[in-house]
């Protein structure tokens, strides 16, 4: 793959993940019934809902900025890993008759985030070497 192809693919994956993350904030920050139900079931309502929303806001913003995409992808991957595990272990794939849409959106974000991380593997290696050599 050429450098420009990698760049545009990385931007596409980042923007898709960011849009999904930012679009769902409305439901978290307005205490939509489905959002309250999810976090109540997990036993972390309201602070888990608000905290997750803040973290998703940060991840979405980082994903939009090319210089910070790597950090946004790491953060989004971690948040979505938690969301997917919560669905599998506690909530079920379908929540309040949503047809599994929330689970599907989490899967799309984690796949996009993983794609960004894979495309930026050289940057990750450089970052790790920098930290390992300093210590």
Q: What is the pLDDT of residues 4-23, one digit of tens each?
A: 999 999 999 999 999 999 99
CA dihedral 81, 24, 20, 109 (to 10 degrees): 10
Residues, the chain: 135
Place of tokens 């910070």: 68
> pLDDT tens-digit profile of 44-101?
999 999 999 999 999 999 999 999 999 999 999 999 999 999 999 999 999 999 999 9
In the structure, what pLDDT confidence band is assigned to residue 131 with cuts at 50, 70 and 90? confident
Residue 68: per-residue pLDDT:
98
> pLDDT tens-digit profile of 102-129?
999 999 999 999 999 999 999 999 999 9
Residue 2: per-residue pLDDT:
95
Provide the residue ranges of all domains of the chain, joining segments of one domain with +: 3-134
Residue 135: per-residue pLDDT:
61
CA pair distance 116, 118, nearest whole angstrom: 5
């Amino acid at each position: 793959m050429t450098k420009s192809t990698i760049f545009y693919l990385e931007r596409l994956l980042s923007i898709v993940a960011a849009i999904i993350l930012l679009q769902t904030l409305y439901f978290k920050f307005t205490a939509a019934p489905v959002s309250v139900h999810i976090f109540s079931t997990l036993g972390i309502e309201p602070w888990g809902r608000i905290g997750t929303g803040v973290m998703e806001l940060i991840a979405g913003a980082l994903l939009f900025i090319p210089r910070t995409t790597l950090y946004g992808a790491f953060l989004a991957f971690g948040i979505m890993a938690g969301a997917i595990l919560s669905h599998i272990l506690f909530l079920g794939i379908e929540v309040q008759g949503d047809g599994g849409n929330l689970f599907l959106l989490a899967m799309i974000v984690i796949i996009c985030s993983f794609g960004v991380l894979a495309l930026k593997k050289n940057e990750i290696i450089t970052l790790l070497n920098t930290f390992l050599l300093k210590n």
